[in-house]
């Protein structure tokens, strides 16, 4: 979505949302990784000796290894200077207006790498946020609080904690009544 502010009414609701989103992103990263692997295998005979292909094959192994380490350890890894800057320097891209165009397998491999790196970065950001939420839960925060969450590029960044107004009202509301029965008895 880009940028949004979303209110969660419990830590469980926020956690469930994150778990679902992480799962979707992991599935998408796996799909792109398989697409990339298939592309590289099909190009191996034709481009196997070219520099870009050898670098792409090495990068794919590196991306898979980093993704597995992140899942196993639960810790984010820093990206080395690869990624977005690489595409701007690649000779296969032509600038047209505000976009870059390419008609080669090299360009397809580059955008797949870029997408996989972006997705893995989002997954890592969500995992860090999820760990921070678990700390909040451990200190006992959660029962009478709404969580107004600032989300940028699908990754939660900040939370504003607001006391639930209904819980204050419920605690202070007291029902009081007098019942008077008048009747005429004969």
Which has the minimum average pLDDT: 7-21, 37-51, 145-159? 37-51
Q: What would the mean pLDDT of 112-121 be, rounded to a whole number?
A: 93
Output the CA–CA distances (angstroms, integers) from residue 147 to 3, 13, 76, 81, in the order listed: 16, 10, 25, 35
Q: Which pLDDT value is given to residue 71?
A: 46
Q: Which pLDDT value is given to residue 2?
A: 83
Q: Which pLDDT value is given to residue 39?
A: 84
Q: Which pLDDT value is given to residue 86?
A: 43
User: Degrees (nearest 5) of the Cα angle 99, 105, 106?
Assistant: 70
Q: Quick one: DSSP state of residue 10?
A: S
pLDDT band at 171 (very low <50, low <70, confident <90, very high): very low
Distance, in Å, from the CA atom of 27 to the CA atom of 109, rounded to the nearest integer, reads 19
Averaging pLDDT over each range in 28-32, 80-84, 95-99, 175-179, which range is the top one?
Answer: 28-32
CB contact set of 130 (below 8 Å; sequence gap of 6+): 15, 18, 19, 22
CB 116, CB 36: distance < 8 Å: yes
pLDDT over 90 percentage in the chain? 33
């Amino acid at each position: 979505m880009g940028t949004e502010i979303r209110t969660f009414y419990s830590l469980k609701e926020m956690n469930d949302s994150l778990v679902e989103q992480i799962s979707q992103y992991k599935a998408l990263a796996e799909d792109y990784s398989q697409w990339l692997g298939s592309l590289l295998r099909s190009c191996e005979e034709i481009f196997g000796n070219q520099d870009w292909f050898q670098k792409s094959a090495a990068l794919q192994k590196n991306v898979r290894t980093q993704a597995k380490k992140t899942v196993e350890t639960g810790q984010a890894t820093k990206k080395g200077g690869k990624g977005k800057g690489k595409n701007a320097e690649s000779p296969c891209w032509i600038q047209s207006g505000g976009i870059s165009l390419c008609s080669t397998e090299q360009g397809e491999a580059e955008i797949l790498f870029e997408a996989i790196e972006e997705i893995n970065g989002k997954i890592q950001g969500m995992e860090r946020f999820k760990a921070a939420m678990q700390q909040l839960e451990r200190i006992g925060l959660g029962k009478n609080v709404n969580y107004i969450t600032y989300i940028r590029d699908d990754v939660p960044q900040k939370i504003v904690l607001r006391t639930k107004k209904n819980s204050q009202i419920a605690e202070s509301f007291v029902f009081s009544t007098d019942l008077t029965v008048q009747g005429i008895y004969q």
